[in-house]
Structure formats: structure tokens, C-alpha cells
Amino acid sequence: MNRDVLRNHRERIDELDEQLIRLLAERFEITKAVGQFKAENDLPAADPERERQQISRLHEIAQIVGMDPLFGEKVFRLIVDEVIRHHEKTAEKHGESKS
């Protein structure tokens, strides 16, 4: 009986892991379009003010759902750093195509 409980928990974790990956893929598709827009309009890859607003918003959400806000911020930072890296590469390619 205890093994069934553990198996059920693990199955749910596996489902959530899949959802997380699918959501991240969707998010990166959208940020890819943002990066293209920024490159075409000579906007910087990073937007520190937007990041500060998002971190504040995510801290509030984390507190509501009972999650450590600092952990949420670390996850957000990891994602945003990857997005900025992609934006910078897109801007470089865009700059090269203008030459």
C-alpha cells in the first residue's frame, strides 16, 4: 500500500515536470518574438525595470501560494538570463544582416 502512495506521488511529479517543460517552451517561443522585435527596433536585450516589476509581482504570488519568494526569484533569474542571452544573439544576427 505505501508503495502505491509513493508511485502516485511520483506520477503526479512527472506530470508536473512535463507541464513545466511545456510552459517553458511556450514562454521561450513568445520571448523569441520579443527578441526579434527588440532587434528590429534597436531596443536593449535586457529591461531591468521590467525585471524588477516582475520579481516584485512574483514575490507576491510566491507568498500567496506558500512558496519561498527567493526561490521563485532564482528560478525567474535563471529563465530571464537565458532569454537575455537569446535576445543578444538575435540582436547580433540582426546587426549582421543589416551590414
Q: How far is CA 73 from the centre of its chain?
A: 11
Give the global pTM: 0.85
* Mean pLDDT value across residues 11-32: 98
**CATH ID of 2-98, from 1.20.59.10, 3.40.47.10, 3.40.309.10, 1.10.10.1100:** 1.20.59.10
Dihedral of alpha carbons 34, 39, 42, 47, sign: positive
pLDDT at 21 over 70: yes
Residue 23 CB coordination number (10 Å): 10
The candidate with the shortest Cα–Cα distance to 35, out of 75, 53, 27, is: 27
pLDDT at 7 over 90: yes
Tens digits of per-residue pLDDT, 30-83?
999 999 999 999 999 999 999 999 999 999 999 999 999 999 999 999 999 999
pLDDT score for 76? 96
